[in-house]
A and B are shown apart, each in its own frame.
Chain A
């Protein structure tokens, strides 16, 4: 059974940094693309970032480019999202998601809440 467990969310002030983690199990992590998607009540679902199976290719939404960095450690079956220069508008529930191919999403984690507020 595919399991994706996010952690690392929290409450912080604008300009702060946070690293989200996603531990994967139930599938061969190293051969699948992975993504981060966030959800807010007002803006619905917003794709944030994706990485290829090896981590050699990464992709970002314009809204986070230059501030967020996606990475993965295939030896630890873990996906990361380093979030810097956080803004109030980054407040959301962040989901880790698996894809069968790049630009695909088939399984989602339960999400971790990030709140940016002064």
Chain B
């Protein structure tokens, strides 16, 4: 199985400051069809996960442009350009290049 490793585990951030979350996979997430299947999800307290980013860098509809995704191969990053109070929650990466689908352990974003 592809192991997804996120860091840091916890990320205290000052409002208005940037934040960055790393996700590394144990195998390349480049599929034979040429696409790289790496998603990012946000889970606010008490809510279901919500997808923010698909295929590394594509923002879902309605997702603020302060969220961006980048990376390639086995190394990926989610960036929040200026953290707002509503961004508090746990962020997960997920790979969809190989069965079984696997998730990172999560990064908890909190306000300092």
Contact = CB atoms under 8 A, between A and B. Distances in A.
Interface residues of B, number: 20
A47 B60 contact: no
Nearest to B102: A47
B101 interface: yes
Interface in B68-112: 92, 94, 96-97, 99-103, 105-106
Contact of A45 (B37, B54, B103): B103
Interface string B22-45: 000000000000000101010000
Interface in B41-60: 41, 48-51, 54, 60
Contact of A105 (B100, B101, B105): B101
Given A106-B60, A110-B48, A44 B105 contact: yes
Given A45-B92, A103-B96, A108 B49 contact: yes
Contacts of A88: none
A104 B92 contact: no
A109 B41 CA distance: 14
A31 interface: no
A59 B48 CA distance: 23
Contact of A104 (B37, B100, B103): B37
A112 B2 CA distance: 27
Interface in A92-114: 95, 100, 103-111
A51 interface: no
A18 B41 CA distance: 28
Contact of A44 (B54, B92, B96, B97): B92
B92 A103 contact: no
B105 A103 contact: no
B100 A62 contact: yes
Given A44-B105, A45-B92, A103-B37, A108 B50 contact: yes
A101 to B, nearest CB: 8
A11 interface: no
Nearest to A65: B100
13 contacts: A35-B101, A44-B103, A45-B94, A59-B100, A95-B49, A104-B37, A104-B96, A105-B39, A105-B94, A105-B101, A106-B51, A108-B48, A108-B49
